[in-house]
Every structure is written in structure tokens, then in C-alpha cells.
Amino acid sequence: MLGISGNVDITVRKAVHVGLVQVRQGRTVAAAWGRLAGNGALLTLAAMPEVVYEAAESTKPADGNVTLTLPAAERLLNTLLTSPGVDAGDEEEKLQQAIHLFYQFRRKEAGALLVGILRTNRFYYPAWLWHSRLMTRAEYIKKALNEAKKWGNCDREIQLEAARIEPRLEGAAVTVKRCIFCWSVVQEKADSCSNCQGMFHIAGQKAPPPGGNAELEKAIVAYKQEFAACPGNPRIAYCLCLAFYSLGRIDQAIEFVDRAMRVSSGEALFLKARTLLQSFAGQAVQPVPQTTQVVRPIAAASSGTGVPDRTILVVEDSQTSRKVITMLLERKGYTIQEAKNGSEALVKLADEAPDLVLLDLMLPDMSGYEVLAKIRQGGKTADIPVIMLTGKSNPADRMKGLHHGSNEYLTKPFDPAKLLAVLEKYLDHPAPQPPAQHAAPPKVVVKTVPQAPKAPNPPVPAPKPASVAPAPLKPMPVMPAVPAGGTAKKSILVVEDSPTSRKVISMVIAKRGYTIHEAATGAVAMRKAQEGTPSLILLDAMLPDMSGYEILHRFKNDERLKDVPVVMLTARNNPVDRQKGLQGGSAAYLTKPFDPEKLLAVIDEYI
């Protein structure tokens, strides 16, 4: 491609991706590929194997964004590439995942993704820019910015950031401090950033005056978007608190420090910040919502009904399991709240504490142990009984659950009668009180809870009144051995590039009697699906020839396949990936390593 002469526009195609190289008077003057332009785009297109070129004469004006001569480009390709070419195509998707992780303060995971991008395509300069923002060693920052400048020669953001950062690295210490809002290099003991005016602490006798800063506003937009996806991340909430404080918007700063405290109510940093912010707002310091509890007298049992007046929060990501558990408990008169992940559970716990929590161990965003630890940190949730209900039956998992503070540890498939008996142990009503005690209205006592977290103290079960004892129930397994109606004629297409993963998945679902078809690439999956419409498709998100989201789009736009349920089964557990899959039309989104029972339950739900 580098030897083409004349005035030509060259279209470069690979899978669903399209690039353009413009040659004028025998000189390559412009190139574009996805979000790349200039030198990085030219070298990426020149190094990609297995592409289709379409050349057409053209005299249209070109951007003139390439500064490399053809001999220089050839030398770079021969010198820098240690493999036959670059594997370009899904860098943008991976970059977006890394940026989301970056704003969630999951910097190690973000760095691993960025390194993965650069190993397959070192000319993908946006990854160099974000990689430089992760670094604190001055030498590494310089190298990453230099790479970003070389390949992103026409990228204004890179050039401006390099011009701002590089002078501050001259004579700097081995490691430097970075601003959490604009990534500038700041003094080690600095309380604020001289570039964006962002404050790193809340201190002093008065708040900063109201003002505006474009970089701070930009950071607020990014962090708010991430907090909406991860409401259980207190670091994002506190970062937003600092940003609004820096802009003199005290009411909004208070709003976000309160949100941080809903997740981590005993955090001393948040308590101090809230106290100072309240004083800046000119208000009397008010008690933090999590520091008081209303202790209500236990009402007498409803006459003649024996219906429990208790609320249970069911934390379970499987829609099928949630439905089964909810139906069972609602039949006994309990009020049920549901949460499909750990973050949603923590938000609901902060808003209104239930009487008991049923907690799964395997959740999409965090483990049940992490949720349990946050529940036990202190405040109004510390003493709530927590029953772990999970598919993990290993004795080590049981001990770990009890060690983290669960009151009981039950395994799936569960016996309904046993589950109800355990719930009654912690939620049962005492016997009705004598009539004379009902003359006066019940008193409400408000007591202050100590700030320090306290160890869980399971309530002692009260004597059980005979009038409300449930009738024995027959065991009702959550999952039948074989789905109703049989599976002899039902088939599943497993789309997975890893031979080991395909084998494991096929072994698990073959036990149900399904017919299994396998595909290692998107192209093979599309062909097999069109040859014989499957009953369900299990789809990985990362395939060698295209992403799972691309083939999902094709499935949903194919007249014969659009109604086939697609369950995504992937190692990508970022909330953004989950949302992308569900919005693309997948019926469910499961993550690896997967729970076989959970996978089978989801399959049974859709076929």
C-alpha cells in the first residue's frame, strides 16, 4: 500500500471497519481509521494483515495530517513491529472500558486493558495518552506522552496535554502526584491543582468562592456518568464532592458526601468533610443520616391472621432465582425488596433498612462477602440479620461467609421449609401482649449509634407462638433436573473462541439433554445459526474476527434469528458492557467464571 502513486483515495476494509488513505501526487498526505488520524492511522492501516483495498482516482482536498514520508513509514514498520502486523479492530471498545475503570478508581485493571491494546497496536495513540495519565513515575510519563505525540501528531488534545505536563516533569522527583480532575502534575504536599483549581481536601475556615472551570466541569460530567453506573462506589461520590466544593457549590458537595456515606457510613474522612461543609453552608451541623436509629416497639401479631409484618431484601442476580424466592416469601406475607447486584443492594439498604437480607455470593459487580462487609461496617445496617443463600456448598465458603458476619449460610437448590424456618428464627413475632398494654399508643425511642463499626450481634430468637407456625411444606427444589416439556429437540449454539471454555460450557448444558452446536468465530456462528435456527445462543463478547456485540446486532437484524434468545456469557463484568449487551438485544448477561446452576436456570427460563 505504501508504494501507490498518483492522486488516489484508498479505502481499507477489515470486517466491519473501514479506513481511508489519501495520496496526492504520489505522496501520502492523509489517513484515517476509526478515531485515529495522521501518522497513527497510516501505520495501523499499513501494518494490518488480511485487509481489502479499494483504490479510486480523486483530486478532492485532503486534510494533510500525515507527516511521515513513505521510506520513514516503512522503516518504522520494519523496526517496531515484532509480529507480522497489528491486530486492529476492537481497540475503541477496549479503550472505553479502560476509561470507565479509570473513573471508577480501578486503575490497575484500566492499565492492564491499555497495555493489551498497545501490545496489539502500538500506534493506537489514545491508549498512550490514557496510559500516561495512570502513571506517577516521571520517566514513564515522558515516554508514554512521547509515543502519543509521535503517532497522534494531529491530535490537539495530546499536543496540549504534553505541552502542559512535560515542563513540570523537568527536574521532578522520581515519582510525582497527579490531579484527579485534569491529570496535571502537582506538588507532593499541594492541597489543590494550579491548572484546574481542583481541591484535594476540604479544610479551612471558609469555602472557595463560587466560580467556573472548564476542566473541572468536564471531570464532573465524567465522574457523574460513572457514579450513575456504579452507585456503590463511595470514592467516585467523594471525588464529585471535592469537585463541587472546588467550584464553591456547597449544596451539591453536601449531596455527594452524603451519597458516599450511604455506602461507607463510618468513614472518618467523609464525616469530617460533611461537618465542614455544613458549617460552610451556614447551617447548624446536623446529624448524619446513618448515625441514628429509630427503635420501634414490636407490634402484636395481627389477630387471627398470623401474617408477618417484615421486609426482606433479596440480593440475587438471577431473575429466575429471585422470582422463585420472592413468590415463596410473599406467600408467607413478607414484604419483598429485590436487588440484582451489590451496588443496588447497598443503595436500598441506605434508603430504608429491611428486617433481614437474603444474600447471594456470586454477584456481577462485587462478591457477597464485600456486600456483607459493608453491611457490617456500622450504622443502621450493622445488626440486620443476613442469610447467605448461594450455590457454593464448599465448607471453606461456608466458613468464610460466617466469618464475614452472616447469621446463617444456606445452599442452593434450597428446601423451602428449611429456608422459612431459618427466616422465622430471626423474624418471628412475640406472642400478643395483654389488652391493657394496647390502651396507650406505642412509644418511639430514638437512640444514637456509636460511629465506630460494631460486630454483628444476631438477635436471640423469641418463643414462637403456636398460632402462626407454618404448615410443613414439601421440598420444592429451585431447578428441576430436566426442564418441563423435555429438551430432546431443543438446540443451543455456543459461540466461544476458547476450546476449553467451549468444552466446559457444552458439558454443563449437555446434562440437560440439549443438542449442542459450537462456533469459534462470529462468521462460523452466523453461518451455523442460519443453517439451522437454534433454540438459544450462548455468546461470548470477545471473538477473534468481530466482537460479540457486532454479531448480536447481526442476529437481531436477521429475520430468521431476531426472535432467538441470546445469552451473553463473557469475562467482561463492567456495568457498561452489561448495559451494552442488554441494550443490544441480549436476553441476559452472565459473567465468567460462571455458576453452572445459574447458567442452567437462565437457559431454562428462555427455552
Q: What is the DSSP letter of 192?
A: B
How many Cβ atoms from other residues are within 10 Å of residue 249's Cβ? 17
pLDDT for 484: 39
Q: Name residue, grid cell 498518483.
A: 6
The model's pTM is 0.49
**pLDDT, position 147:** 95
| 562 within 8 A of 591, measured Cβ to Cβ | no
CATH number of 311-430+442-468: 3.40.50.2300
Instruction: Tell me the domain boundaries of the chain.
Output: 8-80, 91-178, 311-430+442-468, 491-606
Contact in structure between 125 and 117 (CB atoms under 8 Å) = no
Q: Is the separation of the CB atoms in 270 and 260 below 8 Å?
A: yes
**Distances in whole angstroms, Cα of residue 551 to Cα of each of 120, 234, 490, 525:** 22, 36, 22, 8
Rounded Cα gap, residues 168 and 195, in angstroms: 12
Q: Could you say which residues of the chain have pLDDT below 70?
A: 1-5, 80-89, 205, 282-308, 378, 428-488
- Which option is the CATH number for 491-606: 3.40.50.720, 3.40.30.10, 1.10.3720.10, 3.40.50.2300? 3.40.50.2300
Res 316: pLDDT: 92
pLDDT, position 432: 33
Common-topology check for domains 91-178 and 491-606: no
Contact criterion met (CB below 8 Å) for 300 and 433: yes
Task: Domain 91-178: give its CATH architecture.
Answer: Alpha Horseshoe (1.25)
pLDDT for res 4: 59
Give the pLDDT confidence score for residue 89 in this predicted structure.
Answer: 62
What pLDDT score does 37 carry? 93
